[in-house]
Chains A and B, each alone.
Chain A
Amino acid sequence: MSAISPFLGRLISVARVSRRWLAEMVHWLRAIQERHRSAAAIREARGITLLHEWLSPQQKAQFDASRSFDVVGSHTGKRYRISFGRGTNVQEVDDTGRPVMGWCFVPSGELVAGDVILAQKVALETDERGALAVANRFPVQVP
């Protein structure tokens, strides 16, 4: 019994230290996670700011109201609706505004949504054929 007691005491002590260490680790990890979330929110906000700076007043109003806006293709004059997102977010629409075809193209690399849709807007408005040449088409559901 007397030989076991020191061992038990040591075990309890190690367990306490481990628990404290674990609690500190969890706290540290949560702080990192929170910082990561804040940084991501700042990046997203910067993307939205840049997008706002480059939208026409009409597109800005449309985007603020519906999180999407229309652009006119530079070569065909067709209308496209770009929705907030980072993929499968461009739809060709007809004269009545109904979607007829989806076009998927994005700038390469890890960009925030605001940057992605700004690149899509500039590409369609200045080099529609070039943008559609790399795009993948997808069917859209007409409501």
Chain B
Amino acid sequence: MFVGLAPRSMSMATQIVMDHTGDTRHHFDAADLESLAKAEERFKSLTAVGFTAAARDSAGTVTLTRSFDPTAEETLFFPRLVGG
């Protein structure tokens, strides 16, 4: 018996933001409206300053995403590319 264990949400998603520390991960519950709104706000503010968002599905397929996708399980944000 697993008495006392909270059921794990099946709708947890992650936003991974590359930064000077390596990366910062933000986990959110896509079934929770408040959590979802914060994730969308984070998506908008990052892409507004030039970050590129790439979503990966459970099969491992990666696609660029220009607008917030509440169903994306994992989204990676990296800063604007520049010529080196």
How far is the CB of A116 from the nearest CB of chain B, in Å? 9
Residues from chain B with a CB closer than 8 A to the CB of A111 are 18-20, 78-79
Closest to A47 in B: B22
**DSSP class of B's interface residues: helix, strand, loop or mixed?**
strand
How far apart are the CA atoms of A127 and B18 in the complex, in Å?
Answer: 18
- Chain B: residues with Cβ within 8 Å of the partner, total of 23
Q: When the two chains form their complex, are residues A115 and B62 in contact, meaning their CB atoms are under 8 A apart?
A: no
Whether A109 touches B20, Cβ cut-off 8 Å, given contacts A125-B62, A126-B62, A126-B64, is yes
Whether A136 touches B20, Cβ cut-off 8 Å, given contacts A122-B78, A127-B64, is no
Residues from chain A with a CB closer than 8 A to the CB of B42 are none
Q: When the two chains form their complex, are residues A110 and B20 in contact, meaning their CB atoms are under 8 A apart?
A: yes
B8 at the interface (CB under 8 A from A): no
Q: Which listed segment binds B: A3-11, A12-20, A22-30, A99-107?
A: A99-107
Whether A104 touches B84, Cβ cut-off 8 Å, given contacts A125-B62, A126-B63, is yes
B9 at the interface (CB under 8 A from A): no
A38 at the interface (CB under 8 A from B): no
What is A's interface to B at a CB cutoff of 8 Å?
Answer: 42-47, 49-50, 54, 56, 87-88, 104-112, 114-115, 118-119, 122-123, 125-127, 130-131, 134-136
What is B's interface to A at a CB cutoff of 8 Å?
Answer: 16, 18-23, 50, 52, 54, 56, 60, 62-64, 76, 78-84
- Pairs across A and B, CB under 8 Å, 20 listed: A43-B22, A46-B22, A47-B23, A54-B56, A106-B81, A106-B84, A107-B82, A115-B18, A115-B78, A118-B18, A118-B78, A119-B18, A122-B52, A122-B62, A123-B52, A123-B78, A127-B64, A134-B82, A134-B83, A135-B84
